[in-house]
Structure 1
Amino acid sequence: MGDGASEALILDAWHANAQAWEAAVREGRIESRKLATDQAIVELVLSRAPRTVIDVGCGEGWLARALAAQGIEVLGVDAVPALVEAASAKGGGDFRVVSYEDMAAGALKQRADVVVCNFSLLGGASVDALLAAVPALLEPDGVLAIQTLHPLVAGVEPYADGWHDGSWAGCGDGFSQPAPWYFRTLGSWVTAIQKAGLTVLAIKEPIHPHTGRPASVIFLAGASYRGNGDEQASRRSVSRHRTE
């Protein structure tokens, strides 16, 4: 199956399973989220003391509500209208239907101190295009936070980038066909982030308290070559002299 067909199936699956996913999150069915990953991403975002956050792939809005409870202004965006409607009904932020393709084309004009993608980057080319749009969404000294499945527990063999069948295992009842997802090695994640004009600042691995294995991996990245005015002026001067 080609990249384009797989990308389309991701969105189809989320449209079909929006209600089941909302119930799974609302009822706390996913053990790793309850025990490790939810708190890990909340703590990481709060450690940046942001005033504003853009939650990309916000789903039914649980993360936006958790951050809003700490006084943060949150814009949540998702490509699935049913999930955005559910998030809006619960409040806690400004929620909008925005596709990753729209974001890649520059449709989102807001900037934020933190752009967070919490288990919301499943595609191949669509994710690369979205990452390339992130620097324009960041305030000065803003950061991107990505939480995703840790390759160590993904069970993918061989250890190489590629498309794989998804699963709703551990999410409870009510789900239909799962979405495919594009597996990336740790090195490939770092490369994708760097190609987008970002620098990896930290890699964190929240540990599942029952298994002792990583429950996820979190990448924290900032815009490359961002510094104070003197540093930027110096770089411009060096660049000018090199071309003269």
Structure 2
Amino acid sequence: MIVAAQAGDRRALDELVAACLPLVYATVRRTLGGHPDADDVVQNTLLRALRNLRTLRTPESFRSWLTTIAARQAGTHLHRRQAELRRTMSLDEAVDLPDAAVEELTLTQVELSGYRRQVVRAGRWLDPADRALLALWWLQASGRLTRNELAEALGTTVAHAGVRVQRMRHRLELSRSVVAALQVHPRCAQLASVLSDWDGVPCPLWRKRVARHTRSCPVCSRAAGDPVPPAGTRCRWADDRGEAGRVRLW
């Protein structure tokens, strides 16, 4: 089908788009956290892929090639959105961001556990590159991508991809500890002092500052609880349809 699409077969092109749309949408949606712009990024990803389809020399690498495009498009969109927020968004306006509202509604609808809710929110504290990698990792963990395809999407070896995933997961766990500490009421007085100049927008810089406090604070460290399940273990997780299943983590 891919070879026929590269030759200009319209029916093959239509079938190819229909077949790859779920993978592209899952990659973009997870990277952008349910932002309404996800549909536009998905469309741009597919258009870019179709325009460059004939440059793909190995049809068997199509999935990883397409995932790379999707992750880059989503990452670029995140960079632009964050730059726009820094230039134009006040703290009061940031509270009502569309992606925050959509994500909160989604979390409520599927009745996520408190732990997973923390993990989802922790993703907001990662930089765009880590958020894109997190999206690829969830696709691999849920069986939509193989380890080889994830590594190809990153343009690296399986071993190095594993290292990058582990580093991202470490930063994700730090982010989750930050989210947990911020949820404590009443808030730790020392943490309140640390946050005195914070504008309320999650970012890697403030993740480091808050995490530095949580590691040394018995109150905030207790709030964080257990870390993200270690590599190689199994855990229960819900897929995009809210259906629970057992997945093997990296």
Flag whether TM exceeds 0.5 (same fold). Answer: no
Structure scoring higher RCO (CA < 8 A, sep ≥ 6) equals 1
Superposition TM-score tier, normalisation by shorter sequence: under 0.3
Larger Rg: 2
Larger relative strand fraction: 1
Q: TM-score, normalised by structure 2?
A: 0.25
TM-score, structure 1 as length reference: 0.25
Structure with a larger share of its residues in helix:
2
